[in-house]
Amino acid sequence: MTDRKAELAANLAQVEERIASACAAAGRKREEVTLIVVTKTYPASDVRILHQLGVRHVAENRDQDAAPKATACADLSLTWHFVGQLQTNKVRSVIGYADVVQSVDRAKLVTALSAAAVRGERELGCLIQVALDAESGERGERGGVAPDGVAELAAAIGAAPGLRLDGLMTVAPLAGEFAGRQRAAFDRLMEISSRLRAGHPAANMVSAGMSGDLEDAVAAGATHVRVGTAVLGVRPRLG
Ligand SMILES: *Cc1c(COP(=O)(O)O)cnc(C)c1O
């Protein structure tokens, strides 16, 4: 085993242990939570090792890095999640490799994703990114729609050809009433999810929790955690 493979294996084992413990503490089955490894800033060779180690879901946040990496790993059976702020001029590229876009936060993006999915003759999974610290009608600093904009966006995705509404995603806010209160933030996301599922029963994915707060997310009821640093190591800045 190479040094890097041994390192990633050890990190993965630790993350797995954390997820398993959090599930046990919450009385949830381990299978209820899917680990997505965020590979941004790390090379395709790491993605390849992660696949060998059993990882099947990876996430990226910038198309410029993600597109060549996904191409280099096209022979692997992986589900690619796009989790970054997405400009409409990148949509056509993202559709080429992403299975799920977790950062849908405005109607204009829905229109662009739908057109690209139809053109590419494929169905794209969409999560609405919720900015828990955004004021009504605004978007979050790191993307995301304010909670009161979720219903309208859900309707737009639900009606858009080529798109499938899968659920919600959030990043715990650094500012506002939820700053430093990850569990409360994720509980709030679960409430928004319950309301969403009343009208869209299949939209049951809840993507929340990262390296620092995955336990809070699992406790709240997240179905997917997005872990970068704890698996791959600390990124150089600007990751
Ligand atoms: C980078 C990133 C993560 C992973 O963060 P870590 O703290 O490295 O685990 C999760 N979600 C999104 C949207 C990210 O951009």
Q: What is the pLDDT of residue 237?
A: 67
Pocket test for ligand 1, best of 19, 36, 38 (most atoms within 8 A of CB): 38
What is the rounded distance in angstroms from the CA atom of residue 34 to the CA atom of residue 53? 15
Residue 33, domain member (yes or no): yes
pTM of the shown model: 0.97
Do 144 and 105 form a contact (C-beta atoms < 8 A)?
Answer: yes
Q: What is the pLDDT of residue 36?
A: 99
Residue 206, domain member (yes or no): yes
Domains held by the chain: number: 1
Pocket flag, ligand 1, residue 101 (CB < 6 Å): no
Residue 78, domain member (yes or no): yes
Pocket flag, ligand 1, residue 85 (CB < 6 Å): no
Query: N- to C-terminal Cα distance for the chain?
Result: 28
The CA-based dihedral angle spanning residues 214, 87, 69, 203, taken in that order and rounded to the nearest 10 degrees: 50
Measured from the CA of 227, which atom of ligand 1 is nearest? 9
Residue 156, domain member (yes or no): yes
Q: Tell me the pLDDT of the chain (239 aa) as tens digits.
A: 789 999 999 999 999 999 999 999 999 999 999 999 999 999 999 999 999 999 999 999 999 999 999 999 999 999 999 999 999 999 999 999 999 999 999 999 999 999 999 999 999 999 999 999 999 988 888 899 999 999 999 999 999 999 999 999 999 999 999 999 999 999 999 999 999 999 999 999 999 999 999 999 999 999 999 999 999 999 876 54
57: closest CA among 149, 131, 112, 125? 125
190: domain CATH number?
3.20.20.10
The CA-based dihedral angle spanning residues 222, 36, 103, 126, taken in that order and rounded to the nearest 10 degrees: -80
Residue 150, domain member (yes or no): yes
Q: What is the pLDDT of residue 238?
A: 57
193: closest CA among 212, 172, 183, 207? 207
153: closest CA among 127, 185, 191? 127
* Parent domain of 15: 3-232
Pocket flag, ligand 1, residue 83 (CB < 6 Å): yes
